[in-house]
Amino acid sequence: MLKHNYYGNYTAESFAQLPLVLQRFLSYTQYNTTSDPNSTTAPSTQAQMAYAQLLKAEFESVGVKDVKITDKGIVMAYLPATEGLETLPAMGLIAHMDTSPEASGEPAQWQVLDYQGGDIVLNKDKNIVLSLERFPGVDKYAGEQLVVTDGTTLLGADDKAGIAIIVETARYFVEHPEIPHAKLCFAVTPDEEVGRGTENFDIEEFGAQYAYTFDGDELGGFETETFNAAMVKVHFEGLNVHPGSAKNKMVNAIRMAMDFIARLPAESAPEKTEGHEGFFHPMGISGAVRGVDLKMLIRDHSNSRFEDRMNYVRKMVEEMNKVWGDRVTADIKVQYHNLKNYLDKHPAVCNLAREAYRRIGVEIHEKPVRGGTDGARLSAKGLPTPNLFTGGMNYHGVYECLSVTGIQRALDLGIMLGKMSAEVKTLD
């Protein structure tokens, strides 16, 4: 297990009595693996490459002999098929190592709570409270154990909980050679949070014919749909002169940017949408009178509405240039397409997962991901990859938490899928 010297609200002795999957996860939270959206390297941070070396050792420590790290920081590990099952389709389990740059990824000051309901005071000194008013869904975990932080960092359950699950799944099959299974392929990717998790992922090198990501969601979550996604970079070219003599001369790029944002449908924003509803999301702006750059996300589950949204932006730019004199440009780049576009062609992969939920006695909750996963891009490359739960919630912020029951049942799911791989004769 990765070295750790922080035991939260436990002694070293009591920490050692926790379920191994939880121990692994909590030890993983002590490593900062925040990805960098502005980096051009792969992986985007050296910390992730260093962490990949640690994870290689982690897989080896549980008895996995075939482990490698690609030059782009992707960890791949393999368990050979049980003798006689070598021709069955190989199954993959995948997680990502990086945490979101939207909040601090410094080593988490975690604690495991026996949650009895109500608001959770994360940090009394800083008055940081996980309130039910803002996060009403937490209350359903009353009577269970929750892992939280002191409110100054991410917890990192997205997606270090997923790593703990697949490492423990690998350990289970190493220690139970009597249980038949197809070839099992494990991977941990960098830079998922900045949309680059699979850009250097070679599915032929990985070797699986189908796979599942353990990446987020609460107990029972199963995702076969994601957004269609695009990143929009808009530039507003201004003309600056002294404000005292600016009449009929100055072109204020800040006002142009304000005009652009004002033209976006007010009801089509992340904070006003849910379910299958898409949105426009201005997420970053910089500049001055002489020039402004705006970054914006376009998201929609519907393929046709996604195209409509991109065309809406193009039309906005045309109309604004008529007003402002050809000073607005927009670069629209598609990041990924809806996972459903690809999984609909591989129903057996999804049905296998549904049966695994049934066999372990976990009620399945299928809903669209209001985001993306590595699975969307992997599926586009030809590796059908739905997403499975890890037991966490409130991701990408300091109110992130993890259900202990959730991560344990996710491990049960990983093990069951490994067992069921021996039953998969074909994916047709």
Report how far apart, in Å, the C-alpha atoms of 213 and of each of 100, 221, 364, 374 are: 17, 12, 16, 7
Question: What dotted CATH number matches 228-336?
Answer: 3.30.70.360
Per the listing, tokens 């997205």 go with: 158
Per-residue pLDDT band for 369 (boundaries 50, 70, 90) equals confident
> Strands 210-214, 387-388: parallel, antiparallel or unpaired by DSSP?
parallel
Largest CA distance in the chain: 84
Class of the CATH domain delimited by 12-225+339-423: alpha beta
- Domain positions in the chain are 12-225+339-423, 228-336
Establish whether domains 12-225+339-423 and 228-336 are of one fold: no
Minimal CA–CA distance to 312: which of 230, 414, 194?
230
343-367 pLDDT, tens digit each: 999 999 999 999 999 999 999 999 8
For the chain, state the CA radius of gyration.
Answer: 23
- Among candidate residues 168, 192, 193, 300, the one labeled active-site is 192
Residue 1 predicted with pLDDT over 80: no
Query: For this structure, is 192 an active site residue?
Result: yes
Minimal CA–CA distance to 207: which of 83, 81, 336, 84?
81
Minimal CA–CA distance to 154: which of 58, 267, 262, 32?
32
Task: Answer for the pair 236, 409: CB distance below 8 angstroms, yes or no.
Answer: no
Q: In this structure, how many other beta carbons lie within 10 angstroms of the beta carbon of residue 368? A: 18
Query: For this structure, is 86 an active site residue?
Result: no
295-309 pLDDT, tens digit each: 999 999 999 999 999
Read off the pLDDT of each residue in 118-139 and give the average, rounded to a whole number: 95
Per the listing, tokens 């939920």 go with: 357
- Among candidate residues 36, 98, 300, 400, the one labeled active-site is 98
Q: Which residues contact 426 (CB under 8 A, 6 or more apart)?
A: 89, 348
Distance (Å, whole) CA 167 – CA 25: 10
